[in-house]
């Protein structure tokens, strides 16, 4: 058990440092920070799911007029909290932390852990 603690402690410490050091920005600013680790804070305008059950948290408008997306691959939807939890985020202000990537001309963060989403 002590070995597990010794292994997990540095991982949690680094994850906390990355979260705290990440710059926080509005969804409209994300396009200027491609490739950076950052936190994007704003109101979720739309939560949707593809036929393959990938989840999309759209900021700054509904698809296809949105300015930023939090993308949750189907295999991570359950890990992040499930469909019910994700749907409950609609209309809420949240912060998503991770690496900002460009997908089809729009900035997004791929979410695979519940620690990447903070409500409020």
- Per residue in 42-70, pLDDT (tens digit) is 999 999 999 999 999 999 999 999 999 99
CATH number at residue 93: 2.40.50.140
Query: Number of structural domains, the chain?
Result: 1
**Would residue 96 be called left, alpha or beta, if left means φ above 0 and alpha means ψ between -120 and 50 degrees?**
beta
- Model pTM score: 0.82
Q: What percent of the chain has pLDDT over 70?
A: 82
Is residue 12 scored above 90 in pLDDT?
no
Task: Give whole-number Cα distances, 54 to 14, 16, 76, 79, in Å.
Answer: 28, 27, 8, 13
**Per-residue confidence (pLDDT) for residue 23, from 0 to 100:** 79
**Per-residue confidence (pLDDT) for residue 13, from 0 to 100:** 46
* Phi/psi of residue 71, nearest 5 degrees: -105, 125
Q: What is the pLDDT of residues 24-48, one digit of tens each?
A: 999 999 999 999 999 999 999 999 9
Is residue 10 scored above 90 in pLDDT?
no
Domain that holds residue 10: 2-119
């Amino acid at each position: 058990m002590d070995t597990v603690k010794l292994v997990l402690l540095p991982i949690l410490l680094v994850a906390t440092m990355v979260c705290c050091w990440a710059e926080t920005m509005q969804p409209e600013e994300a396009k200027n920070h491609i490739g950076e680790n950052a936190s994007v804070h704003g109101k979720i305008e739309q939560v949707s799911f593809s036929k393959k059950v990938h989840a999309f948290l759209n900021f700054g408008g509904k698809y296809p007029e949105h300015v930023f997306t939090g993308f949750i691959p189907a295999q991570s939807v359950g890990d992040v909290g499930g469909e019910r939890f994700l749907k409950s985020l609609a209309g809420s202000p949240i912060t998503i932390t991770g690496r900002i990537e460009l997908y089809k001309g729009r900035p997004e963060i791929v979410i695979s852990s519940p620690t990447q989403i903070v409500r409020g």
